[in-house]
Amino acid sequence: MKRLYKVLLVIILLIYLVSISTIIWPDIITKILSFLDYINLHSSLSEQMLLRYNELFILGLTSVILIIVIALPRQRKSILLINSGKGTLSLGNEGINNFIKTQLSGEGLSNIQVNIKNTKHIKRFNVTADSEYKKSIISDLPRVEKNLTDSLRNLLSGVDKSPIRVNIKVNQSNKRNNKTSRVI
């Protein structure tokens, strides 16, 4: 799970924890309101009003999370080739990854990394590679992308009619692998 998703999930869970604890123990609200009166911060909200706002906030947050969970596309780990009474045959993302690396191995590219986003409606293949001869590869890149797209269509022909998108980047810096040593 990505770090941003973890932080967002922790924030949402803390909001739920505080909100549900105030619903279960409404005495907390009276103590908070009496403390605010003690330090001369008078509030015009009552306990019932705060509880009502709290419940409405939890209801709204839960419905937003439910809509997001339903609307997000599910990423598949394999492409179903055959589904019959005898069993299923599928091609995994790792096999497609190796197929792409094999197809691009004779094009003058090295350190080929493939990121596959396989959903019901689209299959996206983001390829990042290094090349010593960047200018010649960049001029050849549309041909390489077309050949790879055609090869993938032939590999996945007859499976489903979802579009295939191929994006090849050459000599792009990878943010995750930028580990440099520091000399003092």
Which residue positions in the chain have pLDDT lower than 70?
1, 134, 158-160, 172-184
Cα distances (Å, whole numbers) of residue 19 to 7, 24, 34, 66, 69:
18, 9, 19, 18, 22
Largest pairwise CA distance in the chain: 77
What is the distance between the alpha carbons of residues 35 and 29, in angstroms, rounded to a whole number?
Answer: 10
Fold of 78-170: GMP Synthetase; Chain A, domain 3 (3.30.300)
> What pLDDT does 176 receive?
53
Amino acid at site 179: K
Distance separating the N- and C-terminal Cα atoms of the chain: 35
User: Who contacts 80 (Cβ-Cβ below 8 Å, separation ≥6)?
Assistant: 88, 89, 90, 159
Question: Can you give the pTM of this predicted structure?
Answer: 0.57
Q: Residue 147 in contact with residue 166, Cβ under 8 Å?
A: no
What is the distance between the alpha carbons of residues 126 and 138, in angstroms, rounded to a whole number?
Answer: 16
> What pLDDT does 89 receive?
76
> Bridge-partner residues for 116, per DSSP?
125
Cα distances (Å, whole numbers) of residue 21 to 24, 29, 66:
5, 10, 22
pLDDT digit string (tens) for 108-124? 787 888 888 887 788 88
Extents of the domains making up the chain:
3-71, 78-170
pLDDT digit string (tens) for 51-73? 888 888 888 988 988 898 888 77
